[in-house]
Amino acid sequence: MKFLPLIWRNAVRNRLRTILTLAGIAFLLFVLIFVMTGLSEIQAWEGVAATHRRVVVQHAEGLTAELGIELENFLKGDVISRHAEHVCKFNWFGGYYQDPKNWPPEFAVDPTAMRALFDELKINDEDFKKFSETKTATLVGIRLMQKYNWKVGQRITLIGTFYNANPELDIVGVFTTKDPRQEEQMFFRWDYLDELLQNRKIVSTYWMKARSDEDIPKLKELIDAHTRNSSTPTETITEKEFANQFMQMMGNIKAIVAGIGALVLLIMIMMTANTMAMAARERVTEVAVMRTLGFTAGQILSVIVAESLLVSLIAAAVAIGGSLLVFNIGGFSPSPIYFPVFLVEPPTVLTALGAAIFCGVASSLVPAVRAARRKISDGLRQVV
Amino acid sequence: MAGPVVRVQNVSKTYYRDETPVPVLEAIDLEVAEGEFVALMGPSGSGKSTLLNLIAGIDRASSGRVEVAGSELSTLSEHALATFRSRHIGFIFQLYNLIPVLTAYENVELPLLLTPLSKSDRGKHVMMALDVVGLADRKDHTPRQLSGGQEQRVAIARAIVTDPTLLLADEPTGDLDKKSEEEVLTLLKRLNTEFKKAIVMVTHDPKAAACAARTVMLEKGTLVGKS
């Protein structure tokens, strides 16, 4: 700690250079945090999905194809009921509210099954009763309510893009849950959507809850075997697999993020190393003087590395603080459609901090070792 | 006379330029007694600064023995040499070599950071050293805000703050005007007479050398005379 004033003064010796280096590192760390947050948001659904025993039945050709309504009878029949309960039609609506930029995740569901199926959602009994009794009712997550400043009792209109329908919905209640992402969702009734679509009985997926983990493979086998030779063959998967297929659609996103992260780190190290090399070169005589005073090579090395580390950590504080301010407090999302919530999570913060520490140490190590190893008499003779 | 604080015996130093040996010092014998003020004179390239560096433990002799304050320097590791310098050597450079980003106070405090002294104890030592050189009132000034003479006096305060066994000065007045030169020489004499500091000073200037009790002449790497 007693060397801190020396380290600090050296770090800010050339203010413009330090500010530019600091800004560069902070910007790159911000990019790293941004990309990692994007990845963690994509993976968040997978994480939530893994904690439930929900099973999804979709068309074997994928989500673009529809399932038949007649499948519901089989799914609610005795054979499947032994292994699953709360069978629920589940259609992603894909409409916007007032402006195409406002695209909350809206789902058309069976009111009777949805509450038990999504039992992590806390819904007031009275609100749920209204949802069950009112065809145009919608239940809205608390964060979504706050986002659009909606009130219970308000009527809102969604403009369909995927379906040719514009449901007018009455907000009858609000739900909360642990995961803020789910609080950005809204549910309305499948039968109302069907009515708007002239009773075409379009079902994109069926969801249900397996009675136990052991029932999941049995359900996959039974349901897919039942539909194998029909006009609508199915693929039965867990909710986690369902979430994962969205990630697959985006390509090998983990590899892309890892690549960007490595590149960011490399540029950070090169940039800081350049600054530290210049700083060390300018101070050859000073280092020799300090060693004449009795500083050991190890102490010189520590002072130079600490200086670089200090700059990197300040940059990390700026980047982390800035991103928390913009995303977590300010609620900014780069794409409200794909990322209704864009929250910087603690592991992302720790990774950014780790990257800054690694950059600080790695970039200064070579100039620091060279400075510490230089002969004192050579250093004293040097004219800078 | 007290026992020698510096004992240089048959010391030679050869540098290598590419593979060509360049002898700088040859068979030097020198003793400096405790509390003695010795001036090292000689033309440029005669090896004065090299000899000073060997005594300071910032360079190593090619052969011979350099013993300072009871330590035979050739036997010490780099780490032990650093500790030796911090305890026994106060070095004054021709170009002052203060750290430009630190204040006068912080520059003087620098060698004390290597000691286990508390912040307040360090403060007392620093103020005492600045008081000796007459710059206590300029403690918050950076080197840029000081004149050359004042910078050199801060450098002297830095050299004496740890109360070293030996003060080594490499042309301490070489870059100063006449008035500052006199101030610095007066200060060095005072450190020798009042504080009983042993001093070895490299100089070109006969007037500066006259402040010393003894002058040693070097020419082409060998001792040629004493006065």
With contacts defined as CB-CB under 8 Å, which chain B residues touch A6? Answer: 99, 102, 106, 110, 113
Whether A34 is covered by a domain: the verdict is yes
For residue B178, give the DSSP letter. H
Residue B16's SS3 state is: strand
Q: Are residues A89 and A33 in the same domain?
A: no
The two tokens of residue B227 are 């006065």
pLDDT in tens, A21-51: 999 999 999 999 998 898 888 777 777 777 7
Q: Are residues A72 and A193 in the same domain?
A: yes
Where does the pLDDT of residue A176 fall: very low under 50, low under 70, confident under 90, or very high at 90 and above?
Answer: very high
- Judged by CB atoms closer than 8 Å, whether chains meet at A293 and B59 is answered as no
Q: What is the pLDDT of residue B227?
A: 58
pLDDT in tens, B164-223: 999 999 999 988 899 999 999 999 999 999 999 999 999 988 989 999 999 999 999 998
Where does the pLDDT of residue A250 fall: very low under 50, low under 70, confident under 90, or very high at 90 and above?
Answer: low
Segment A341-349 mean pLDDT: 92
Of the candidates A186, A181, A185, which has an alpha carbon nearest to the alpha carbon of residue A333? A181
Using a 10 angstrom Cβ sphere, with 0-12 exposed, 13-18 middle and 19 or more buried, the burial of residue A195 is: middle
- Judged by CB atoms closer than 8 Å, whether chains meet at A13 and B101 is answered as yes
With contacts defined as CB-CB under 8 Å, which chain B residues touch A298? Answer: 79
Question: Which residue type sits at B4?
Answer: P
Q: How far apart are CA A104 and CA A144, in angstroms?
A: 8
Residue A107, strand partner residues: A92, A187
Q: Are residues A102 and A153 in the same domain?
A: yes
pLDDT in tens, A355-372: 999 999 988 888 889 888
Where does the pLDDT of residue A124 fall: very low under 50, low under 70, confident under 90, or very high at 90 and above?
Answer: very high
End-to-end CA distance of chain A: 29
Number of domains in chain A: 2
Mutation target among B101, B151, B168, B202 for the A interface, most CBs of A within 10 A: B101
Among B59, B86, B102, the residue with its CB nearest the CB of A294 is: B86
CA distances from A80 to A71, A76, A144, A228, B89 (A): 11, 7, 35, 16, 90
With contacts defined as CB-CB under 8 Å, which chain A residues touch B91? Answer: 292-293
Where does the pLDDT of residue A383 fall: very low under 50, low under 70, confident under 90, or very high at 90 and above?
Answer: low
Instruction: Kindly calculate the radius of gyration of chain B based on its CA atoms and give it in whole angstroms.
Output: 17
- Judged by CB atoms closer than 8 Å, whether chains meet at B101 and A10 is answered as yes
Q: Are residues A287 and A357 in the same domain?
A: yes
Question: Does A1 have pLDDT greater than 80?
Answer: no
Using a 10 angstrom Cβ sphere, with 0-12 exposed, 13-18 middle and 19 or more buried, the burial of residue A179 is: middle
Query: DSSP readout, B76-143?
Result: S-HHHHHHHHHHHEEEE-TT----TTS-HHHHHHGGGGGS---HHHHHHHHHHHHHHTT-GGGTT--G
Q: How far apart are CA A344 and CA A329, in angstroms?
A: 10
Query: DSSP readout, A88-138?
Result: EEEEE--EEESBTT----EEEE-HHHHHHHTTTSEE-HHHHHHHHH-TTEE
Q: What is the pLDDT of residue B147?
A: 94
Q: What is the pLDDT of residue A377?
A: 86
For residue A181, give the DSSP letter. T
State the residue range of the domain holding B35.
4-226
Mean pLDDT of chain A: 90
Q: What's the complex ipTM?
A: 0.92
Of the candidates A381, A298, A227, A127, which has an alpha carbon nearest to the alpha carbon of residue B78? A298
Residues 148-167 of A with CB under 8 A from B: none
CA distances from B14 to A197, B43, B64 (A): 98, 18, 12
With contacts defined as CB-CB under 8 Å, which chain A residues touch B119? Answer: 2
CB contact, 8 Å: A299 with chain B? yes
Query: DSSP readout, A2-46?
Result: TTHHHHHHHHTSSHHHHHHHHHHHHHHHHHHHHHHHHHHHHHHHH
Q: Which residue has the higher pLDDT, B123 or A46?
A: B123
Q: How far apart are CA B39 and CA A261, in angstroms?
A: 62
Residues 103-132 of B with CB under 8 A from A: 106, 110-111, 113-114, 119
Residue A322's SS3 state is: helix
**Which domain CATH number covers B184?**
3.40.50.300
Segment B19-43 mean pLDDT: 94
Q: Is residue B157 within 8 Å of residue B91, measured between CB atoms?
A: no
Share of residues in chain B with pLDDT > 70 (%)? 97
Among B106, B114, B119, the residue with its CB nearest the CB of A294 is: B114
Q: Are residues A126 and A168 in the same domain?
A: yes
CA atoms within 13 A on the CB side of A237: 19
The two tokens of residue A33 are 């945090």
pTM above 0.90, yes or no: no
CB contact, 8 Å: A292 with chain B? yes
Tell which of A168, A200, A231 closes a domain: A231
Angle at alpha carbon of residue A243, lines to A241 and A246, rounded to 5°: 110
Question: Which residue type sits at A310?
Answer: L
Q: Which residue has the higher pLDDT, B168 or A335?
A: B168
In whole angstroms, what separates CA B145 from the centre of its chain?
A: 24
Q: Are residues A283 and A165 in the same domain?
A: no
Give the helix, strand, coil percentages of chain A, each rounded to 5.
55, 15, 30
With contacts defined as CB-CB under 8 Å, which chain B residues touch A286? Answer: 97, 99
State the residue range of the domain holding A334.
4-44+252-381
Q: Are residues A280 and A215 in the same domain?
A: no
Whether A50 is covered by a domain: the verdict is no
Whether A246 is covered by a domain: the verdict is no
Q: Are residues A20 and A162 in the same domain?
A: no
Q: Are residues A225 and A261 in the same domain?
A: no
Number of domains in chain B: 1
Segment A263-285 mean pLDDT: 86
Whether A257 is covered by a domain: the verdict is yes
